[in-house]
Amino acid sequence: MTETAYNFAYLDEQTKRMIRRALLKALAIPGYQVPFASREMPMPYGWGTGGVQVSAAVLTPDDVLKVIDQGADDTTNAVSIRSFFQRTAGVATTTRTQEATVIQTRHRIPEVPLTEGQILVYQVPIPEPLRFLEPRESETRKMHALEDYGLMHVKLYEDISRHGHIATAYAYPVRVEARYVMDPSPIPKFDNPKLGDCPAIQLFGAGREQRLYALPPWTQVVSLDFEDHPFEPSKADHPCGLCGATDSYLDEVIVDDVGGRMFVCSDTDYCEARQAQGHRGKDAA
């Protein structure tokens, strides 16, 4: 049921128009951070205000929405955003990746390969990959404009000199179409290879920071690395305890107070679909 007091998908049409214009610019310049007039949303900053505004701007009444939080469809953030759009837009929702046309995500890319016609919306806390290396925004903008990206490798250099390998495990910086260095939001670096050559449209929204950026379909995205320390996507070296999958990103779950733990797929839809097909892991009941 749509609550009639609200415009479709909560935001007013002029705001959606402003966001769509910013999104078009972002798609035209892949990886470039476009400023936009972020609105106050009925949720705290850090809960996905950027992602929600982007989703609201791209949703149509015929869309099927899926919302995931760290891969899961049933956590607080995912449930509340899903019900927000059910109430304000009245769109159909699903947990099945294949059936969704718009997927809002926090910190994961679904395991099932995305297809043409789908839109993946990321919630981004800090859009500026250079932020912790160079705190001045005026300076980082200049560095992006002039492709002055030596500093990004200094961070990776420091990782190797301190840990012996590139220890950055999430929000791993990427270079888009050999031009802009981009923060892919805090997805695990396991997901980085899925960013490039993706058939779906990927949109990134940072509400507090008032920035949007985007990857159009089939964009070249390269994870930064050194020749002698190449990029390696990593995951826990276990099969899923519930569905036995060996190719999915895993969460470690502590199950008791004597050191017992299990590894399960972070993508709940993927895990459930596999279990429905009869796959079983060692911890499955």
Partner 1 sequence: MSYTPLLSVRGIGKRYGAHVGCIDVSFDLWPGEVMGIVGESGSGKSTLLNCMAGHLVPDAGQVIFDTRADGPRDTVTMSEPERRMLGRTDWAFVHQHARDGLRMGVSAGGNVGERLMAVGARHYGDIRGKATDWLERVEIDPGRIDDRPSTFSGGMQQRLQIARNLVTGPRLVFMDEPTGGLDVSVQARLLDLLRGLVRDMGLSAVIVTHDLAVVRLLADQLMVMKSGRVVEAGLTDQVLDDPQHGYTQLLVSSVLQV
Q: Is 1 exposed, middle or buried (0-12, 13-18, 19+ CB in 10 A)?
A: exposed
Distance in Å from the first CA to the final CA of the chain: 37
Among 136, 153, 261, 282, binds partner 1 (CB under 8 A): 153
Q: Is 71 an active-site residue?
A: no
One symbol per residue from 121 to 150: x for binding partner 1 (CB under 8 A), - otherwise; what is it?
-------------------------xxxxx
Of 245, 111, 121, whose CA–CA distance to 188 is shortest?
111
One symbol per residue from 157 to 196: x for binding partner 1 (CB under 8 A), - otherwise; what is it?
xx-xxx----------------------------------
Q: Is the Cβ of residue 87 or residue 153 nearer to partner 1 in the bound state? A: 153
- Options 48, 51, 205, 265, the catalytic residue: 265
Smallest gap from Cβ 206 to partner 1, in A, equals 24
Q: Is 265 an active-site residue?
A: yes
Number of residues that bind partner 1 (CB under 8 A): 18
Q: Which two tokens stand for residue 181?
A: 């260095």
Q: Is 198 an active-site residue?
A: no
Smallest gap from Cβ 222 to partner 1, in A, equals 12
One symbol per residue from 9 to 38: x for binding partner 1 (CB under 8 A), - otherwise; what is it?
------------------------------
Q: Is the Cβ of residue 44 or residue 150 nearer to partner 1 in the bound state? A: 150
Q: Is the Cβ of residue 153 or residue 282 nearer to partner 1 in the bound state? A: 153
Q: Among residue numbers 212 through 251, which ones bind partner 1 (CB under 8 A)? A: 225-229
Does 154 bind partner 1 (CB under 8 A)? Our answer is yes
Positions marked catalytic: 31, 240, 243, 265, 271
Residues that bind partner 1 (CB under 8 A): 146-151, 153-154, 157-158, 160-162, 225-229
